[in-house]
Amino acid sequence: MKTVLKIIAIILFLALAGIQFIRPDRTNPPVDKTLAIESSLTIPPDVDAILIRSCNDCHSNKTEYPWYSNIAPISWSDMIYYTP
């Protein structure tokens, strides 16, 4: 029984190590400033700071990915979450 558990553990470890080589494409396309909300509206600086802090990572092309987005399979689900 212990040998079966060891074999299963080794297979799981190798599978998790192997999927680290399957990486999603994480590119930030160029930013078109004419499409930004600031180009059509006057936004107070304090509100602009809140929008940048709270919304930019998911709703812009300026995404800064967290450290755990480099670990599969979390990186795969993050690409769905961070797609603008």
| pLDDT in the model for residue 46 | 93
Tokens of 17: 């190590």
pTM over 0.75: no
User: Beta-carbon neighbour count of residue 82 at 10 Å?
Assistant: 18
More confident residue, 8 or 29: 8
pLDDT interval class at 78 (50, 70, 90): low
> Tens digits of per-residue pLDDT, 16-69?
899 888 877 777 778 888 887 778 888 899 998 998 888 877 777 777 777 877
65-74's contacts with Cβ under 8 Å and 24+ in sequence apart are 65/26, 69/26, 71/20, 72/16, 72/19, 72/20, 72/22, 72/23, 73/19
Q: How many residues does the chain have?
A: 84
Residue 75 and residue 22 in contact, taking contact as beta carbons nearer than 8 Å: no
